[in-house]
Amino acid sequence: MPSPSLRLAVVGAGAAGLVAARELRREGHSPVVMGFLDFPFAAAEAAGGDTRRFPGHEEVLRYLEAFARRFDLYGLVRFETEVVRVRRDGGGGRWAVTSRKLGEKGRREEEEVYDAIVVCNGHYTEPRVAHIPGVETWPGKQMHSHNYRVPEPFHDQVVIIIGASASAVDISRDLAGVAKEVHVADRSAPACTCKRQPGYDNMWLHSMIDHAQEDGCVVFQDGSSIKANVIMHCTGAITVDDNCVDPLYKHLFPPEVAPHLSFIGLPWKDVLKHAPACFFQVIPFPLFELQSKWVAGVLSGRVKLPSREEMMEDVKAFHSKMEARGWPKRYAHNFSDYQFEYDDWLAEQCGHPPIEQWRKLMYAAISENKAARPESYRDEWDDYHLVAEAAEDFKKYL
């Protein structure tokens, strides 16, 4: 029997928060919100914008605004509202949420009670910075990729980039056009690593930084050193016990309080060292949408969860499999090469069609294209037949 309408707090109003609000309301709930499968980017093109396959951030914002208008979500969002804390409200499964309005004098806090919490606050906001011995007295500038915008301020400077995933790859190539030298420090590289990057006269790959010195030099694990102006941390966001939120059933529900607390959008994907063609991250918007459909269906009673004990057994089995593969804890939510398997599992749980085959093939084609054309993959591609298939599929939503 379906559950009565619940009053829900959605923490976050980005891509995950917006689609969570839509799916929760579709199931009859009343959410308050502090590229999706059925709303293609093409739906936002009528206003005239960046129609490239890899649009700029302004176009992504326009897309999210169009999505919010199309599904009448603005009325659910409390803008400029910060969630200060969330706690259990007694033993009845309800939650007390304390928030405050930003910009108000005194910033008075307000507490409200909700039936469930859906956390959609993202994991790219609070930067994570690598520990470097001696950096306190090093005279150069440190920054995080979260704050990087354009390469011009780094003209003729020596920049050290820490990291080897998507942001490090993109920013290092961006900077190589203006910086005097770019040095990439990769913690997974052997200690003896020090080599020039193919296709560049001014970019090198190193092992991790060993320490920094007062004279401006940065020393790598192989003993080589560089006098640098900037250290840029492309090291991701702040962690929860080494980037792992645990225990979570299927990366979503803590078994002890399920389904009244859930986390949308935790999975991510690293650049795989053993499979160079897999060069892209998790495709986020369809993932958010399918997770939200599942959460909304469970909260309405239409979709059933296993028992608490069964969910905990599943979590233990997952961690045992990680240990057997030799994966560190920080890779708990790293989907490596099984994101579509997870997406299709979610779709099956909530009675939604699986991810379209053209999406899966296009993902593989783009990954291979980026590996083959790292400088021009955004503007050159060979999968025109998949683009045509996607355009035909999108017609039913336009």
Q: What is the pLDDT of residues 21-35, one digit of tens each?
A: 999 999 988 888 865
The least confident of 62-66, 82-86, 324-328 is: 324-328
DSSP category for residue 329: G
Q: What is the pLDDT of residues 114-142, one digit of tens each?
A: 999 999 977 655 567 888 999 999 999 99
Distances (CA, A) of 90 to 96, 112, 171, 263: 9, 14, 48, 21
Task: Give pLDDT, residue 277.
Answer: 41
As a dihedral over the C-alpha atoms of residue 242, residue 248, residue 249, residue 254, rounded to 10 degrees, the angle is: 180
Angle between helices 57-70 and 15-26 (to 10 degrees): 20
**Mean pLDDT in residue range 202-217:** 96
Q: Which residue has the higher pLDDT, 330 or 182?
A: 182
Q: Which residue has the higher pLDDT, 201 or 187?
A: 201
pLDDT band, very low/low/confident/very high, at 273 (cuts 50, 70, 90): very low
Structural domains of the chain, with CATH: 7-125+238-355 (3.50.50.60), 141-233 (3.50.50.60)
Task: Give pLDDT, residue 326.
Answer: 77
pLDDT band, very low/low/confident/very high, at 275 (cuts 50, 70, 90): very low
Amino acid (1-letter code) at residue 120: C
Strand order across the 158-162 sheet? 141-144, 230-233, 158-162, 181-185, 203-206, 194-196
Q: What is the pLDDT of residues 295-323, one digit of tens each?
A: 999 999 999 999 999 999 998 998 888 78
Q: What is the pLDDT of residues 322-358, one digit of tens each?
A: 788 777 766 666 776 778 999 999 999 999 999 999 9
Residue 230, sorted as left (phi over 0), alpha (psi -120 to 50) or beta, turns out to be beta
pLDDT band, very low/low/confident/very high, at 272 (cuts 50, 70, 90): very low
Is 101 in a helix, a strand, or coil?
strand
Q: How far apart are CA 213 and CA 112, in angstroms?
A: 51
DSSP category for residue 342: H
**Mean pLDDT in residue range 40-59:** 68
Mapping DSSP onto H, E and C, the string for 222-283 reads: CCCEEECCEEEECCCECCCCCCCCCCCECCCECCCCCCCEEECCCCECCCCCCCCCCCCCCC
Task: Give pLDDT, residue 105.
Answer: 64
CA nearest neighbour of 272 among 205, 207, 321, 339: 339
Q: What is the pLDDT of residues 140-162, one digit of tens each?
A: 999 999 889 899 999 999 999 99
**Mean pLDDT in residue range 180-187:** 95
Structure tokens at 229: 């102006």
Task: Give pLDDT, residue 242.
Answer: 58
The least confident of 35-44, 53-62, 168-177, 184-193 is: 35-44
On average, the pLDDT of the chain sits at 85
Share of the chain above pLDDT 90, in %: 46
Q: What is the pTM of this model?
A: 0.73
Distances (CA, A) of 152 to 146, 149, 159, 180, 184: 17, 9, 13, 12, 19
